[in-house]
């Protein structure tokens, strides 16, 4: 953005230092002393089924535009994880879903992300691409485009959903052994 002539450029939280009473470096604004605490972000999503078919969305945006993903995204302020997963299904696939159980909690420490996927059911089979999706579709297990999945955790969540089957009381799955989500 253009700046009025002579205006100083605000630097914002740009100095790395350990605040008093803390034990690690934070970004601090050298002008006003504001401390920026950055923390991991939560991604909420769902493996949502209509009968035996799984809802996937082909991404219209980067990263991984053109690849298939589960409806999922960053949790917003003042919502719950369940409401966030429902909102993402609506935003990305215009899908109305009912949450059944917490399927998995994945950690991607490189990205400072915690991803929470729910097992869910579509309330109707009316789906449509939202603004971040190129298309949306319902896939039977043997139709899933495995080589065109957007992220490792999409593959994990699909596998864990299959593994859990119809179990009603189960512990949510975590990252597969040795997998950190660092690459596909």
Shortest gap between Cβ of 184 and its own copies (angstroms)?
Answer: 20
Shortest gap between Cβ of 39 and its own copies (angstroms)?
Answer: 5
Residue 40, both tokens:
């991991």
Q: How far is CA 183 from CA 61, 106, 155, 158, 179, in A?
A: 19, 14, 12, 17, 9
Q: Choose, by CB under 8 A, the member of 7, 147, 165, 183 that binds its own copies.
A: 7
Quick one: 66 or 109, whose CB is closer to its own copies? 109
Stretch that binds its own copies, among 121-129, 136-144, 147-155, 169-177 (CB under 8 A): 169-177
Q: Choose, by CB under 8 A, the member of 8, 51, 178, 183 that binds its own copies.
A: 8
Beta pairing class for 41-50 and 113-122: parallel
Instruction: Choose among 104, 110, 100, 109: nearest CA to 72.
Output: 104
Instruction: Choose among 46, 163, 55: nearest CA to 115.
Output: 46
Quick one: 41 or 162, whose CB is closer to its own copies? 41
Q: Any contact of residue 49 with its own copies (CB under 8 A)?
A: no
Q: Any contact of residue 32 with its own copies (CB under 8 A)?
A: yes
Site for its own copies in 85-144 (CB under 8 A): 91, 101-102, 105, 107, 109-110, 112, 114, 116, 131
Distance CA 145, CA 175 (A): 21
Distance CA 137, CA 171 (A): 29
42 has which bridge partners? Answer: 114
Residue 181, both tokens:
């989500």
> Interface with its own copies by CB under 8 A: which residues?
1, 3, 7-12, 21, 23-24, 29, 31-34, 37-42, 74-83, 91, 101-102, 105, 107, 109-110, 112, 114, 116, 131, 169-172
């Amino acid at each position: 953005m253009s700046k009025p002539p002579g205006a100083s450029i605000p630097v914002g939280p740009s100095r790395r230092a350990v605040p008093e009473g803390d034990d690690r470096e934070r970004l601090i604004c050298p002008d006003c002393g504001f401390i920026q605490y950055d923390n991991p972000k939560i991604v909420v999503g769902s493996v949502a089924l209509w009968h035996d078919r799984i809802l996937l969305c082909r991404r219209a945006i980067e990263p991984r535009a053109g690849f298939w993903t589960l409806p999922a995204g960053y949790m917003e302020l003042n919502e719950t994880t369940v409401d966030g997963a429902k909102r993402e299904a609506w935003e990305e696939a215009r899908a109305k879903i009912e949450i059944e159980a917490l399927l998995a909690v994945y950690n991607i420490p490189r990205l400072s992300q915690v991803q929470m996927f729910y097992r869910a059911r579509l309330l109707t089979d009316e789906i449509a691409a939202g603004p971040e999706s190129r298309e949306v579709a319902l896939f039977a297990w043997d139709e899933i485009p495995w080589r065109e999945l957007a992220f490792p955790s999409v593959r994990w969540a699909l596998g864990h959903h299959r593994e859990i089957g119809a179990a009603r009381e189960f512990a949510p799955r975590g990252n597969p052994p040795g997998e950190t989500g660092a690459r596909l």
